[in-house]
Amino acid sequence: MNEMAKEELTLNQLAKEIYAGAGGMENVQSVVHCMTRVRMSVRDDAKVDQAKLKSIPGVLGVVDDEQLQVIIGPGKVNKVAKEMVDLAGVELGEELPHGTGKDLVNAKAAEMKAAQKAKQKKSPIKAVLKDISNIFVPMIPAFVGSGLIAGVAAIMANLITAGTLDAATWQQFVDVLNILKNGMFTYLVIYTGINSAQVFGANPTLGGVIGAVVMLTGMNPDAPIKNLFTGDALAAGQGGIIGVIFAVWLLSIIEKKLHQIIPDAIDIIITPMVSLLVVGLLEIFLIMPLAGFISNGMVGGINWVLSVGGAFSGFVLGALFLPMVMFGLHQILTPIHIQMIGETGMTLLLPILAMAGAGQVGAALALWIKLRKDKELTEMIKGALPVGILGIGEPLIYGVTLPLGRPFVTACVGGGIGGAVIGAIGGVGAIAIGPSGAALIPLIANGRWWGYVLGLLAAYAGGFVATYFFGIPKDKLAEQQLAETTVSAEPMVENKVAAHAIDVFTAVAQGDVHPLEDAADPVFAEKKMGEGYFVEPTSNEIFAPVAGKVSTIFPTKHAIGITTDSGLEVLLHMGINTVELEGQPFEILVTEGQHVTPETKVATADLAAIKAAGKGISMMVLVTNMNDVETYVLEKTGKVTATTEVFKAKTK
């Protein structure tokens, strides 16, 4: 098909053709774009027809790497991506509709599961976080519903304990609510086992059984199973949620291996029995005892922290409590609570530990404000926040902060800040062990509820501030900024190019200038993005390649768009595949709308970090609207200093 025919496709037609080549709209998970490419997450790679995509008029190339990437070129790519999401009725980055009757939480789970199965390069940490999200996001509706019931029951129970409500009248109401609540939280390990098995590809029912093992329901209390490390009796729940996930991961490996070696005739008998036996024994005699051993080892450390007292103790305990819960290590604190209540009539430890959940509330508020365009995330936060305020933290932890990684850490910092405030005030104790959050206020002893409330407010604020400034994942922030800039850029008028103007281009860094065909990336080498050159830099300082106005700075900092006074659209692309580095090696020194010259330092690039990440350091300079160029010439190659004239282009 000739170039004239290529130009005849409308944005709507181009968007539909891309969907068709990607296996249909139903096969596309989500759509975003970068400076030059429409990036799609797909549900089934096998349905993608790359040959068809490459043949579409207006498509400059196709890359199947972390995502399915269709190269359109700057200036047009945002319009094509916007047309694609408009056809689907969603926003950039949101999941496209798939099937019927799915609410936002289930849609999120499907997205995470598809991402887990996709053939993508990703770090082990990101892979673990994806798995955690896959496991827990489907539980969010049950978490929220049960959590609200648990919160109401907690308030009533604590008011009964405090003597505000009459037990004879209200206790049965509390018992009924607790029965409903326990249907979720008592058997959380079983649901975790089932969902973990679905994520890792094991039999879901076997996964549920593996989760149930940590409950030790068949153990004789008069002759308990001994901890191999300490000789003490095993306690139900040791190993926690993380132990269950690890055990089910082992189950998936063993089960898949057995399916390969066991004859089909006896596979249905031998494989589940051997899988359950091997993993169950490992869970009982290794995973749970190991967690118990760690728990016992932590007792001395916790007692020392408590002996130090004050703000230090409060911060350490408030910050570390949630990680302890995840590993099932929090049970070692129950005897300490009981001992404190027996000796002094109250536990000074519980109000401090309650700050951990408050930190999660503050972190969720920051995520809500900072990532307000992410409708799935904000909907989950809206449902989980009231539950978290009432002291039920699971929806926020497992559905929001932990799958995102960094916000979980900053939320723990917020919990530490709240704990430090309570520790500094001193004397803030609870008369009984009960749920935390706002529900614990009636149990605070000696009228010092005000100290507990100050701690809650400090934890909310600490979690909010730490997350707002340090805890937002860069990829999520990039999606947010991309959605905002794309929407604001849509009404802009096409740039007009002055006739017969000459633009002089310079080396953007000290190093070696090369013609574009020498580039390591075939997309650049085949000049699908436009004509130009690149510099292999020997200095971290990066300068503007031409005089003009900064039109675009991509959120991941790896690319800058400049429009010359004559109207040429120039792309400075720093490195090869550096979009995956999420901006870490780069510092941008200019702002959008700023006028620059070849003497303007626009960025610094940590070349060593880029190389260490396995990415190329080539600084690409491209004229992307070549249809407006009459002639061009690369005048100089080889070693140059920054700002040396190397390339000229004349407009038509």
Q: Give residue 504's pLDDT band: very low, low, confident or very high (50, 70, 90).
A: very high
Give the pLDDT of residue 176.
94
d(CA 404, CA 419): 24
217: nearest Cα among 187, 183, 178 = 187
Number of Cβ within 10 Å of residue 613's Cβ equals 15
Quick one: tokens of 648? 């000229």
Is the model's pLDDT at 483 over the cut of 60?
Answer: no
In Å, how far are 257, 290, 329, 341 from 293, measured between CA atoms? 31, 5, 10, 26
Cβ atoms of 516 and 525 within 8 Å: the answer is yes
Give the pLDDT of residue 145.
81
Give the pLDDT of residue 454.
96
Cβ atoms of 241 and 192 within 8 Å: the answer is yes
**For 277, left (φ over 0), alpha (ψ -120 to 50), or beta?**
alpha
Is the model's pLDDT at 18 over the cut of 60?
Answer: yes
**Burial environment of residue 280 by CB neighbours within 10 A (0 to 12, 13 to 18, 19 or more):** middle
105: nearest Cα among 414, 379, 481, 417 = 379
Q: Considering the chain, what is the average pLDDT of its residues?
A: 83
State the Cα torsion 492-494-498-501 to the nearest 10°: 100
Instruction: Sheet containing 502-506: give its strands across.
Output: 502-506, 645-651, 629-634
End-to-end Cα distance, the chain: 25
Architecture of the domain defined by 497-651:
Distorted Sandwich (2.70)
Identify the residue whose tokens are 């996709």: 118
Is the model more confident about 126 or about 418? 418
**Burial environment of residue 627 by CB neighbours within 10 A (0 to 12, 13 to 18, 19 or more):** exposed
d(CA 103, CA 90): 14
Identify the residue whose tokens are 């971290």: 540
d(CA 577, CA 608): 15
Q: Give residue 107's pLDDT band: very low, low, confident or very high (50, 70, 90).
A: very low
Cβ atoms of 581 and 615 within 8 Å: the answer is yes
Q: Are strands 638-640 and 511-515 parallel, antiparallel or unpaired?
A: antiparallel
108: nearest Cα among 340, 507, 423, 399 = 399
Spell out the SS3 assignment of 8-57.
CCCHHHHHHHHHHHCCCHHHEEEEEECCCEEEEEECCHHHCCHHHHHCCC
Angle at 439 between CA 437 and CA 440, to 5 degrees: 75
Is the model more confident about 425 or about 67? 425
Is the model's pLDDT at 491 over the cut of 90?
Answer: no
In Å, how far are 207, 288, 327 from 215, measured between CA atoms? 14, 11, 14
Cβ atoms of 558 and 581 within 8 Å: the answer is yes
What percentage of the chain reaches a pLDDT higher than 90?
31
Q: Are strands 601-605 and 595-596 parallel, antiparallel or unpaired?
A: unpaired
Is the model's pLDDT at 354 over the cut of 80?
Answer: yes
Mean pLDDT of 413-421: 94
Cβ atoms of 456 and 358 within 8 Å: the answer is yes
Specify the pTM. Answer: 0.49
Is the model's pLDDT at 113 over the cut of 50?
Answer: no
Question: Of 111-125, 191-205, 274-288, 350-364, which gets the smallest average pLDDT?
Answer: 111-125
Mean pLDDT of 56-77: 80
Is 412 considered catalytic here?
A: no
Handedness of CA 79, 84, 89, 92 (dihedral sign): negative
Q: In the chain, where are the structural domains located? A: 3-100, 136-183+309-492, 187-302, 497-651
Q: Give residue 437's pLDDT band: very low, low, confident or very high (50, 70, 90).
A: confident
Half-sphere exposure of 291 (CA within 13 A, CB side): 30
Quick one: tokens of 593? 């709308």
Number of Cβ within 10 Å of residue 144's Cβ equals 23
Q: Give residue 96's pLDDT band: very low, low, confident or very high (50, 70, 90).
A: confident
Handedness of CA 144, 154, 156, 426 (dihedral sign): negative
Is the model's pLDDT at 298 over the cut of 70?
Answer: no
Question: Which residues make beta-bridge pairs with 474?
Answer: none
d(CA 230, CA 296): 8
DSSP letter at 97?
P
Cβ atoms of 189 and 214 within 8 Å: the answer is yes
Identify the residue whose tokens are 């798995």: 131
Q: Given 18, 31, 34, 603, which residue is catalytic?
A: 34
Is the model's pLDDT at 332 over the cut of 70?
Answer: no
Count each helix (H run) and each strand (E run) in the chain, helices first: 25, 18
Alpha carbon 396 to chain centroid, angstroms: 14
Alpha carbon 271 to chain centroid, angstroms: 35
- Give one DSSP letter per residue of 165-187, joined into a string: S-HHHHHHHHHHHHHHHHHHHTT
Give the pLDDT of residue 228.
78
3-100 maps to which CATH number?
3.30.1360.60
Is the model's pLDDT at 467 over the cut of 50?
Answer: yes
Quick one: tokens of 127? 């892979």
Give the pLDDT of residue 481.
61
Q: Where are the alpha helices (DSSP H) in 490-585?
A: 522-525
